[in-house]
A and B are shown apart, each in its own frame.
Chain A
Amino acid sequence: MARPKLAVWKFASCDGCQLSLLDCEDELLAVAEAIDIAYFPEATSHVDPGPYQLSLVEGSITTPHDATRIRDIRERSAALVTIGACATAGGIQALRNFRDHAAMMAVVYARPDYIATLATSTAIAQHVKVDFELRGCPIDKRQLLEVVSAYLHGRRPNVQSHSTCVECKMRGTVCVMVAKGQPCLGPVTHAGCGALCPSYARGCYGCFGPSDAPRTEPLADRLIALGSTRGEVERLFSTFNVAAPAFREGAARAGGGGHDD
């Protein structure tokens, strides 16, 4: 039987999520045995035009050309899974969506009219149907292996959507917000990292994006009550998942009167 074909695609991103596959040092050779790595330019010169059983998509849509390219990829892919915060929420580069894009371009380019970019950085799901979204900035490589394995065996991935807070409790880490008053997005952030930041004595900074049913507005109020400035809380919600609606609400609650410190 022919091995299933896997493709890995890149849009606006840092390459870190696809690198996670090459960081599976113990599993990589076995994965390459079990599946046909049909398109993965970061790792191989070999190019197979598809169609593909599974496409992993990294990065966000920021140019007219990429908005077209993703539709072509969708047509050639039986299943399409986005990997990471850029592909799933627009990434840090989605900060442009909430600022004056023309002004940002002017900071960087003397002739912005030369550059074919969109005024927004958007998630893949805003352009094509996505079968599964894997969170994280970067993704967790164990979750990546689970997703690849699930799709190649025709089952749903076993990936939990509860909060980082739950993972932290399961791990037995002392709560950094309760014990030390540190700002932490753990209560509203999607699980998957294993509650890494609190185990390193810092608050969660939300790189996995919103969890199921996140209550970001009360959390924003609480962080301000604990002593963070409005600007600090607004920035905390405005990083790698800035365009995720729940995090936008948290940022807006803190930013309130357009205050900018």
Chain B
Amino acid sequence: MTTRTIKVDILARVEGEGALTLVLDGERVIDARLELFEPPRLFEAMMRGRACTEAPDITARICGICPVAYEMSACHAVEDALGVQVGGELRELRRLLYCGEWIESHVLHMVMLHAPDFLGFPDAMTLAKHQPERVRGSLRIKKAGNALVATLGGREIHPVNVKVGGFYRVPRRAELAALLPDLRAALAEAEETLGWLATFEFPAFERDYELVSLRHPTEYPMNEGRLVSTKGLDIDIHEFGAHLQEHQVPHSTALQARIVGRGSYQSGPLARFVQNADRLSPRASAAAVRVGLEPTCRNPYRMLLARGVETIYALDEAIRIIEAYAPPAEPAVPLVMRAGTGQAVTEAPRGILYHRYVLDDAGIVQDAQIAPPTSQNQRGIEEDLLAMGPMLASMSLEQATRRAEHAVRNYDPCISCSTHFLTLRFEQQGSP
């Protein structure tokens, strides 16, 4: 028997460090491993003994690309424990901040990390030599997203203005209104960019995924909603642990998430779009129609287009929020410490991010649990690779390697986030 091994020692153009190994026997993939080998930083242990009000600042440091997602899930989970409701304009401002992160993270991935795969370039800088206006245009969209995060949060990476209960200082109308011209220009540019992305060649590949996302009664989901799937899951997020669990697999150092009684699942832009296309703004809906992206889509390569549609949505939504904005009287809801357990799921750019905290009566964290999107998506990524045998068999080793790497990047994996938790679940399986 002749086998071929595809091995990528350091996956490029992903956030954090991982490796990929694939063993092919003819058309059959007999082993697929996405190894995430960043050293553990022990965040869940570090959170013990910290004040619950420190959770947003500390957990933001898990990820430099999606710190807002960590701040949001941390705030909502702690507020759940303290019995605090954050509504009105403060809730809108949180949504606005999340829009900024979706925009900058999505554009970073689409144009700088993923488009080079479709076009056969090593990076966006080389792409820029061939299509300078495309790259410059997308950098302008990214900048508009980052400007939103920086204005509202203080800076692009690890924003300082988020606190449990709301914000330290809410922006004046004029501060946000000043962002509108660039956001409007970025919206038009994002529509053009999506049109360009849609001209790429998408490999013919589909799988029968269980797609999981939040679902809100009226909004495209970001901070709140029930957790639903394409195979009938429909739960309150407080039931997360009873339905979404992690299991050890022999070939991996990482435990992988499964839905109890079924199997792997995927979250992220495609899952959100498929289950919430009816909640998009008219302009984002129209963009999806123009590029032929439909809720029946199960091709992971076309997740790129879902990201593009969500970028348009996030720009549209940011403009709506700013136009309607009136500063609230108080920047935050007051907090009263009490013992309890709180949980939350929010939609990070890459998928669902779960936080759970147990607090004592002074609000000191006794126990913390965090499930980042990439650890939840990892098993499904490997299953994609396992199912790609027929497509890879006819390719040269070099082509097959590039195609496999490309498949991993479909999910915009965030390895700095996931590793610290992945290894930990694996080890827990071995507990006596």
Chain A residues proximal to chain B, CB less than 8 Å: 10-20, 22-23, 25-26, 28-29, 32, 37, 41-46, 62-63, 66, 91-93, 95-96, 104-105, 107-112, 114-115, 117, 121, 137-138, 193, 196-197, 199-202, 205, 207, 232, 235, 239-240, 260-261
Docked-complex contact B428 and A239, CB < 8 angstroms: no
Docked-complex contact B14 and A42, CB < 8 angstroms: yes
A43 and B63 contact, Cβ closer than 8 Å, known pairs A15-B416, A193-B155:
no
A138 and B38 contact, Cβ closer than 8 Å, known pairs A29-B135, A45-B13:
no
Docked-complex contact B40 and A115, CB < 8 angstroms: yes
B424 lies within 8 A of chain A by Cβ: yes
Partner of B146, one of A17, A25, A114: A25
Docked-complex contact B146 and A23, CB < 8 angstroms: yes
Docked-complex contact A239 and B57, CB < 8 angstroms: yes
Alpha-carbon separation in the docked complex, A14 to B415 (Å): 9
Interface residues of B in 163-195 (CB under 8 A from A): 163, 168-169
With A18-B64, A19-B64, A202-B168 known, 7 other A-B pairs at CB within 8 A are: A41-B12, A44-B123, A45-B13, A107-B42, A109-B423, A112-B427, A239-B57
Contacts of B104 in A (CB 8 A): 23
Docked-complex contact A108 and B424, CB < 8 angstroms: yes
Docked-complex contact B158 and A207, CB < 8 angstroms: yes
The residue of chain B having its C-beta at the shortest distance from the C-beta of A196 within the complex is B154
A107 and B48 contact, Cβ closer than 8 Å, known pairs A44-B13, A44-B123, A196-B154:
yes
Docked-complex contact B160 and A15, CB < 8 angstroms: no
Contacts of B16 in A (CB 8 A): 10, 15
Partner of A16, one of B10, B65, B124, B429: B65
Alpha-carbon separation in the docked complex, A12 to B126 (Å): 29
24 contacts between A and B (CB under 8 A): A11-B39, A14-B416, A16-B64, A16-B65, A23-B156, A25-B146, A29-B139, A41-B13, A41-B17, A42-B15, A43-B113, A45-B12, A45-B116, A45-B123, A62-B39, A93-B41, A93-B42, A96-B42, A108-B42, A108-B424, A117-B40, A197-B160, A201-B169, A260-B49
Contacts of B67 in A (CB 8 A): 14, 16
Contacts of A199 in B (CB 8 A): 154
B431 lies within 8 A of chain A by Cβ: yes
Partner of A92, one of B41, B44, B122, B427: B41
Q: Mark B49-73, 1 if CB is under 8 A from A, else 0.
A: 1110010011001111101000000
A114 to chain B, nearest CB (A): 6
Docked-complex contact A110 and B428, CB < 8 angstroms: yes
Interface residues of B in 330-386 (CB under 8 A from A): 331, 362, 364
Partner of B139, one of A13, A25, A44, A196: A25
Contacts of A17 in B (CB 8 A): 64, 157
B249 to chain A, nearest CB (A): 16
B136 lies within 8 A of chain A by Cβ: yes
A29 and B125 contact, Cβ closer than 8 Å, known pairs A110-B430, A138-B64:
yes
**Which residue, of A16, A63, A261, has the highest number of chain B Cβ atoms within 10 A?**
A16
Partner of A108, one of B44, B57, B123: B44
Docked-complex contact A46 and B41, CB < 8 angstroms: no
B45 lies within 8 A of chain A by Cβ: yes
A43 and B123 contact, Cβ closer than 8 Å, known pairs A197-B154, A201-B168:
yes
Interface residues of B in 132-167 (CB under 8 A from A): 132, 135-136, 139-140, 142-143, 146, 154-158, 160-161, 163
Contacts of B63 in A (CB 8 A): 14-16
Alpha-carbon separation in the docked complex, A14 to B423 (Å): 17
Alpha-carbon separation in the docked complex, A261 to B45 (Å): 17
B128 lies within 8 A of chain A by Cβ: yes
The residue of chain B having its C-beta at the shortest distance from the C-beta of A141 within the complex is B156
Docked-complex contact B135 and A201, CB < 8 angstroms: no
Docked-complex contact A114 and B427, CB < 8 angstroms: yes
Docked-complex contact B158 and A104, CB < 8 angstroms: no
The residue of chain B having its C-beta at the shortest distance from the C-beta of A43 within the complex is B123
